[in-house]
């Protein structure tokens, strides 16, 4: 039995997207961000964060780890591709997404959406925007000559990186100077499985 703890209005959306994309049966417990540090949830994840996946009593946290685990255990090609080389590429792009991109997008998101206007740090937004130029170019270059990150097919690497980049849409980051990345992002986020997640609590 699979259970995903975490509201879709959080990083849990990524793991819900993976579960939907894989067509798995699962229970969804939409733990709110505000309740992530409750004693009950701390027993699932000592960090007090969502998402958490429970797979027959095995608890996993960290959204990228959850998604790679789900793809490897329950997926098949092309979502979880067939070779070790391509598995390496899935790890590479996923870790690139959360280390090179996510922190800068969160800085912009926080300052544009969550901080009161008079406390907004425009310099931090500017620095983060500058820092995103290099990884965005890496993605844009990769996607100029292939429809998806690994080639012709949508894989867990696309899902993981696109889910990180969905913060750019929320934070209204201008993506027009990386048109191949922008078009790929729209294509990924528009997938039916991701659209279904938007309707979840």
Q: Which residues bind ligand GSH (CB under 6 A)?
A: 10-11, 33, 36-37, 48-51, 62-63
Please report, to the nearest 10 degrees, the dihedral formed by the alpha carbons of residues 85, 90, 91, 92 taken in order: 80
Cβ closest to ligand GSH, residue 10 vs residue 107:
10
Cβ closest to ligand GSH, residue 50 vs residue 79:
50
**Least separation, in Å, of the C-beta of 146 and ligand GSH?**
26
Cβ neighbours for 174, distance < 8 A, ≥ 6 positions apart: none
**Least separation, in Å, of the C-beta of 48 and ligand GSH?**
5
- Burial of 82 per CB tally in 10 Å (0-12, 13-18, 19+): exposed
Cβ closest to ligand GSH, residue 37 vs residue 133:
37
* Residue 20 and residue 189 in contact, taking contact as beta carbons nearer than 8 Å: no
Cβ closest to ligand GSH, residue 37 vs residue 76:
37
Task: Count other C-beta atoms under 10 Å from residue 120's C-beta.
Answer: 15
Helix axes 102-109, 122-144, angle to 10 degrees: 140
Cβ closest to ligand GSH, residue 36 vs residue 70:
36
27-29 and 2-5: which strand pairing?
Answer: parallel
Cβ neighbours for 33, distance < 8 A, ≥ 6 positions apart: 7, 9, 10, 50
Q: How far is CA 78 from the centre of its chain?
A: 19
**Least separation, in Å, of the C-beta of 149 and ligand GSH?**
19
**Least separation, in Å, of the C-beta of 114 and ligand GSH?**
12
Burial call 32-68: b when 16+ CB within 10 Å, e when fewer:
eeeebeeeebeebbeeebbbbbbbeeeebbbbbebbb
**Least separation, in Å, of the C-beta of 164 and ligand GSH?**
9
**Least separation, in Å, of the C-beta of 63 and ligand GSH?**
4
Cβ closest to ligand GSH, residue 33 vs residue 138:
33
């Amino acid at each position: 039995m699979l259970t995903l703890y975490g509201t879709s209005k959080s990083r849990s959306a990524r793991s819900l997207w993976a579960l939907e994309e894989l067509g798995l049966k699962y229970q969804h417990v939409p733990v709110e961000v505000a309740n992530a540090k409750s004693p009950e949830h701390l027993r699932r994840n000592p960090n007090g964060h969502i998402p958490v996946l429970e797979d027959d009593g095995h608890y996993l946290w960290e959204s990228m780890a959850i998604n790679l685990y789900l793809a490897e255990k329950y997926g098949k090609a092309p979502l979880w591709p067939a070779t070790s080389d391509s598995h390496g590429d899935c790890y590479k792009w996923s870790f690139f997404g959360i280390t090179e991109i996510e922190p800068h997008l969160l800085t912009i998101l926080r300052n544009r959406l969550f901080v009161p206007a008079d406390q907004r740090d425009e310099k931090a937004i500017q620095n983060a925007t500058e820092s995103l130029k290099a990884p965005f170019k890496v993605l844009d270059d990769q996607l100029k000559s292939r429809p998806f990150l690994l080639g012709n097919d949508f894989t867990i690497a696309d899902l993981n990186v696109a889910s990180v980049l969905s913060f750019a849409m929320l934070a209204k980051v201008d993506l027009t100077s990386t048109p191949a990345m922008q078009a790929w992002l729209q294509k990924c986020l528009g997938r039916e499985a991701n659209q279904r997640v938007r309707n979840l609590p």
